[in-house]
Structure formats: structure tokens, C-alpha cells
Amino acid sequence: MYHWLAVACLCALPFCRVESRSTVRNPQLRWTGSWAHNEQRRVLSSGSPAIVGITDLLGRLDKHRSAIALYRRLESIPVYIATDASRNALISHYPLEDVGNAAESATEAPPAAAVRPAKHMPKAQQIVQEFLQQFADVKEVVSTQSSTHDLSRMKRRIPAVVLYFMDPNACAAHVLELRRQGKEAHMARTTLADYARQVDNATRKFDPILLPTSEALVSATRRGKGTFKGTPIFTTDPPIVVTKSETSEGGFNPATDKLVVFFSPESAAEIYRGAWWKGSVKKELGGETVRYRILPGAGKWSTRILVSSLEELCARIKTDEPYWTSLIHLEPPTTAADKHAQQLFQESENKGKSAWDVLHSFRVFFNY
């Protein structure tokens, strides 16, 4: 008798686990067993520590997967930093003698997002609405407020920072200015994913600061008449989608289309005008031909440019809306490098080639 009871318990155990996991990831209501009164109760309760622990674990796993997917998206966006001879990022210096020894990160890493189950992807017709709700008209930017500070009375030390530039020409000017001051500086290309990882790093000793392009700042702040917090990103209304399909038409199709997020308002307006005039715009992206088209609702040649914050979008993805990583396309900035930036890039490439030549010569010597 005890033998059969043990077997029955073991057989029932997998079903109990499946039920707990499915209800935790999908916190829905389940029946109490009283069909007559149609009574319901929540699966999660303070009296179930095991269930709460599983909820916390699954929430953390969802958050980890969301962060990895987000970093992969951000890998496609180039940014630029100043480095030393060893290609280590230069920490910005300040004209204070005591800062070099004492300055560390003056701000803490952002608090961990609340651990909660990931939401399900909304229906296709709701995706575009929720996407546009993330953005606001540029005219709605908060007005500027002036304030006065006495630097001699400020007790807080100036933090050590690493500057990430979205404009290669601005980074080149920064490197040349450091050289003019007698500091060895070089220019290196990295990605927005590196910046995002540093922001999330709780043990960092510096503050990563991302500097958008000047046109993005001018547009987001209404030519300095307003304030903007974060890194400006833009879209159009109605939004633009990018697709590899030649037959994709009509409304948004999550299987073939991705909503385009721009880092430049001018790029958004340019692609919109081209797609409105020709029906679609074709470009080479990652060795493949893709097509940009406007979703239904474009009645005018011009469009409203909407602005949002990259940090806010990333927070939504890492909290409980990971599905956005599969629904959006981040369009890299199209700022062309000037002659100074090109020279610094060439200098960096030549330095890499010379190191490879030295390694190759050692290899030939030992083989000989």
C-alpha cells in the first residue's frame, strides 16, 4: 500500500510543477473547485513561499534574456570613444588637482527593475498604438528652467566620466583637443551595447555619458527652448517599417515587418518623404536589400516627428516588455566622418596592422 502511494505521489509531482510554472509566468485566475458559485482565486499568495521563489527566479531569467536580446540590437549602432595607446577608454580629466586621485563614479547604477513576469506580445493592431504611445510630439518637450550655482560651495566631487560619441566628428575634435593639451589620445569605434553594459554595471568606477548628434539634441530640445532627459530617439506618425519582403503591404505584420527607430530626425523625415513619393525606399542593410515603407494613414508629404528616450525604451524592454526587441529596428546615424575623423581611423588601423606585422615576423622567425 505504501509502495503504491509513493508511486502516485511521484507521478503527480511533474503535473504540480507544470501547473506552478505556467501559472507563475502567466499569473491568471484558476478555479477553486466551486463550479456552482464560479469562485476564483489568485495562484500567487503570500502563504506560498515556494511559488514566490519560483516567480522571482523566472522573473530574473526573463530579465536576463531581455537584456541579452537588447544588447544584440544595440550592437548594430556604432559609437566612438577616446582611448590611450593601449586602446583603453580615457577617463575625462578635470582642471582640479585633487580630482585625479579621488574622483570615482558620483552616480549609482540605475536601480534594478522590478522583477515581474514578462507581458505577452499584444495583437498586431495594438502594437503600433503602443509603439506610438512611447513617443511624444517634439512640441511637448518640457520648457527650460534656469538656475544659478556657486561652484566654490559645491561639496560634491566632479565624477570621473567616459564620453561616448554618436558623432564621429565630435569624437575626433575631442581627441585632437586632448592632444593639444599634451595628452596621448586616440580614437576607437565601439557599439551602443558597450555603453548600455557600462550603465548596468554596478561596480563601475566612472559614469558613462552618451553624447547624441547635434541635430538630435537641437530637435529634442526645440532649438534649446526646452529640456530633454536621456538619449533622443525618433519616429514618424504614421511610423515607418522595414521589411525584407517584396509583398509586404497594408498594416503592420510582426512576422515580416519591424518598426523603425531613428537616432536622427532628419533621417526619419528623409526616408518618410522618399517612401511617400515612391511607395517604398530600398537600401542595403547588412549585405541584404531591405525596403522601408509607411504604414497606412500617411495623407501628407510631410509628417510629425515624434521623440522619446532610448533609456525609457530600454527600461520597458528589460522590465516586462521584452518582445520589443523583435518588433523594432534601430536605424544607425548617417553622419559622415570628416577628414580629421578619417585620419584618426586610418591611424588606428595602421597601428593595428603594425602590431600584426610584428607578430607575423616573430612567427616566421620561429618557424625558420
How confident is the model over 25-39, as pLDDT tens digits? 343 333 334 333 434
Cβ atoms of residues 326 and 122 within 8 Å: no
Rounded distance between C-alpha atoms, residue 207 and residue 163, angstroms? 9
pLDDT at 81: 96
* DSSP codes, 27-74: --EEE-S-TTTT-EEES--TT-HHHHHHHHHHHHHHHHHHHHHHHHHH
Where residue 13 falls among pLDDT bands split at 50, 70, 90? very low
Rounded distance between C-alpha atoms, residue 86 and residue 66, angstroms? 33
Report the run of H or E that residue 189 belongs to, with start and end: strand 186-191
Rounded distance between C-alpha atoms, residue 316 and residue 5, angstroms? 48
CA angle 142, 143, 147 (to 5 degrees): 120
Where residue 124 falls among pLDDT bands split at 50, 70, 90? confident
Question: Checking DSSP bridges between strand 186-191 and strand 78-83, what pairing results, if any?
Answer: antiparallel
**Average pLDDT, stretch 302-307?**
88
How confident is the model over 100-121, as pLDDT tens digits? 444 454 455 555 555 556 678 8
Domains and CATH numbers, the chain: 58-93+107-114+122-139+159-336 (3.40.1350.100)
Per the omega criterion (within 30 degrees of 0), is the bond before 111 cis?
Answer: no
**Average pLDDT, stretch 312-327?**
88
**Average pLDDT, stretch 201-218?**
89
pTM of the model: 0.72
CA angle 306, 309, 311 (to 5 degrees): 160
Rounded distance between C-alpha atoms, residue 308 and residue 306, angstroms? 7
Residue with cell 531591405: 290
CB atoms within 10 A of CB 312: 15
Residue 66: what are its φ and ψ, rounded to 5°? -65, -40
CA of residue 55 relative to chain centroid, distance: 26
pLDDT at 147: 61
